[in-house]
Amino acid sequence: MGSQSSPHFLSSLLLLFLLPVAQCGVTYDRKAIIINGQRKILISGSIHYPRSTPDMWEGLIQKAKDGGLDVIQTYVFWNGMSLHLALYLTDLSLHTCSIMTLLQGFPVWLKYVPGISFRTDNEPFKMAMQGFTQKVVEMMKSESLFASQGGPIIFSQIENEYGPESKALGSAGRSYVNWAADMAVRLGTGVPWVMCKEEDAPDPVINTCNGFYCDSFTPNKPYKPMMWTEAWSGWFTEFGGTIRHRPAEDLAFAVARFIQNGGSFINYYMYHGGTNFGRTAGGPFITTSYDYDAPIDEYGLIREPKYGHLKELHKAIKLCEQAIVSADPTVTSLGSLQRAHVFSSESGGCAAFLANHDPNSYAKIMFNNMHYNLPPWSISILPDCRNVVFNTAKIGVQTSQMQMYPTNTQSLMWERYDEEVASLEENSLITATGLLEQINVTRDTSDYLWYITSVDISSAEEFLKGGKLPVLTVQSAGHALHIFVNGQLSGSAYGSRENKRIKFSGNINLRAGTNRIALLSVAVGLPNSGVHYELWSTGVLGPVVLHELDEGSRDLTWQTWSYQVGLKGEDMNLNSLEGASSVEWMQGSLVQNQQPLTWYRAYFDAPDGDEPLALDMTSMGKGHVWINGQSIGRYWTAYAPKENCKSCSYTGTYRSPKCQSGCGQPTQYHVPRSWLQPTRNLLVVFEELGGDATEIALMKRSVSSVCADVSEWHPTIKNWHIESYGEPEEYQNPKVHLRCAPGQSISAIKFASYGTPLGTCGNFQQGACHSPNSHTILEEKCIGKEKCVVAISQANFGGDPCPNVMKKVAVEAVCSSAVQPIT
């Protein structure tokens, strides 16, 4: 998938960090990456340091470690190279690794190097790419960051998902791949290099897989390990689109499928997605939020059940590690869609993966003279080929439901400044005959470019006597367009990620004499993938035609046009602490006039507590927001149609449109607490369309309720002990674990049932079998506590409500703090 960041922001060297390690050798064979002579199954997660703030890094890395990760993957960003995270990782007493990735996006200036052609056998491009790569590697070496120097970087990636482009470009693509690989290897990092989605990666570079599933992937040489460098944990979100979710059960199933087929390295893309601060979101049309439905959410909070379910999966895999890296699996058919993958090591170890690929039905199978019941679309893991410690479809951890709470901040006192439209032409520095491509003019210094021209209208025109108004049509390469006629907004049009081009057609009010037409073209991120995307266009390229005149139609395309880059407010730095004080702001009732192209400012004190913060921008239209001069990013309250959202099953092959939510719901925008000072924080908003700034609200994000749904025969790793390897396990009751956020406690039990409850978190119902003591038992164990544990046993619940029936406990508990959630 890659990063979906704007090309002005990112070309990346991918780093994989192991933290900290003594000086060690990193090599590979067909089974695994080898560290200090030992084959390792490595579990990694992508955390991109610019998408979080430095004060978040320690917590993110600790949560990754606690979640069972060995490795952190990150990019080094071309236009903002920083070793801060790499250096930071070496200071932490965590046993974690790191990968670094290059090459994946480009600074805008690269587009204007004479004779350049991106990502092909082109000397100007190769010279620039080599210079960047060498510089990064030299910086890393100077800080002794590679594992061969005792540092945390265990391998690096050159290029990113180049396979489709390589095939499209033919021999030039293949030559470029060979050159890039050779250039990287010659840098002498002492650690392996990889290329993802590149079947032709030449030795010694390892070709790797990216995707939702990679169990059918095979390296291009028999002596290379099977590596999955992007296991997609979810999907990005586009403005006006739904939020894409990937069920935890399916992600776990995909990882187990990969491991059972001999895979030994998995990197979750993303493990923490974070935020595209500023104008770094690319695509175009990718949102400021880069949450990605990752195990750690955009705000740095654990997403349950995905985080906990994967943590248990990682524990189960590690129990099987020695058997997996020592032998190839023996595959046995257990049915039409059922298989057993068995790893037997020379030392006598045995591990088995029992798979049911049927998306609709349970499978009862016989393995090693024992019966096993496999849920649909699932794998059971048996680290001793006998006892099940984990099943990918059986979630035993809690589900946490998150909610936004109002802060204790007083109502904001807003002031307003109107962007000047009347004096546009006076400030224009560029005049040309015809229409110019937007990025060629702005060089991406702003999202905004004004196209300005004049139209003379005779007083004899029929429409001036009460006839039909003229129609203006404008064709644009994207991404958004606002039409101003004589200083008044006459209409807007928008593209989308699927169809970036715009065609505006609308009636406009013209007067006798000279009329000024000003087209404000807005970029919503820049392209970052595809063959020769440096040649793709943005902005108004025409034709621009005025229809329904007495003369018929008048083509304005090749008139004289004036251009103004950016907004006057940008030029005056109204978003900064200094610039915001340089103009007179309107106050009082004038603030509530919902006009387009308006700047707003307000001051606020930092809310108490340590919960993550967000801005609710529901009352606004489209624009940009800053706090204390730092850009939160673009906002756009475009909602997905409600019919696009529906419930989905974890079973069956996952694709990004399968599980969608967020229809008709607003998006909140992450406000890093580290950007705030105790008092008088400056909040600046630029609104393109018109909105009610008085309704903007600062919110806290925390847990509203927690649920558990656990069977009395739920497999658990804690039931399995290495001392009893291969022996029947001594049964221990599974437990319900509930935990609110720090500073919260369980204030109520909303639902509880021991028996055969139905439904899912948020809509549980009693089934035919129910213990009447359920609610009382859970209240006694949990009320007033931040966390509680309840064993699932007949004794705990006062007897067996339905003998000879498989029972479970379903519970939903309310988490509360001093501040109550909004309704």
- Residues designated as active site: 161, 230
Q: What is the dihedral of CA 281, 287, 293, 299, to 10 degrees?
A: 80
What's the CA gap between 444 and 437, in Å, rounded? 12
**Surface-to-core class of residue 433, CB atoms within 10 Å of its CB (0-12 exposed, 13-18 middle, 19+ buried):** exposed
Q: Using CA atoms, how far apart are residues 538 and 556, in angstroms rounded to an integer?
A: 19
Neighbour order of strands in the sheet with 630-636:
415-418, 598-604, 681-687, 622-627, 630-636
Look at residue 535 and give its three-state secondary structure: helix
For residues 783 and 491, what is the distance between their CA atoms, to the nearest angstrom? 56
Cα distances (Å, whole numbers) of residue 93 to 48, 59, 198, 521: 20, 13, 35, 50
Rounded distance between C-alpha atoms, residue 639 and residue 501, angstroms: 20
Q: Each residue of 247-275: b (16+ CB within 10 Å) or e?
A: bbbbbbbbbbbbbbbbbbbbbbbbbbbbb
Tokens 């000072």 locate to: 677
Within 8 A by CB and 6+ apart from 5, the residues are 77, 105, 276, 280, 281, 282, 528
Tokens of 438: 């937007």
Show Cβ contacts of residue 23 under 8 Å, excluding neighbours closer than 6 positions.
147, 148, 149, 150
DSSP states of 547-597 as a string? EEETTEEEE-TTSEEEEEES-HHHHTTTTSTTGGGSSPPB-GGGGG---SS
Amino acid at residue number 778: L
Q: What residues contact 154, with CB distance under 8 A and at least 6 apart?
A: 16, 17, 18, 26, 33, 35, 42, 71, 97, 98, 99, 147, 191
Beta strands, E only, 590-743: 598-604, 613-616, 622-627, 630-636, 660-661, 668-671, 681-687, 697-711, 735-739
H/E stretch holding 399: strand 399-406
- 649-to-246, 652, 670 alpha-carbon distances in Å: 10, 8, 30
Alpha-carbon span 386 to 352, nearest angstrom: 8
3-class SS letters over 55-79: HHHHHHHHHHHHCCCCEEEEEEEHH
How many C-beta atoms lie closer than 10 Å to residue 51's C-beta? Answer: 26
CB count, 10 Å around CB of 80? 12
What CA–CA distance (Å, rounded) separates 822 from 509? 44
Contacts of 515 (CB under 8 A, 6+ apart): 454, 455, 456, 457, 485, 486
- Greatest Cα-to-Cα distance within the chain, rounded to the nearest angstrom: 99
The enclosing H or E element of 177 equals: helix 171-185
Task: Name the nearest CA neighbour of 745 among 779, 715, 721, 768.
Answer: 779
Side-chain-side CA neighbours of residue 734 (13 Å)? 21
The kind and range of the H/E element at 183 are helix 171-185
SS (H, E, C) 266-286: EEEEEEECCECCCCCECECCE
Residue 144's contacts (CB-CB under 8 Å, 6 or more residues apart) are 150, 151
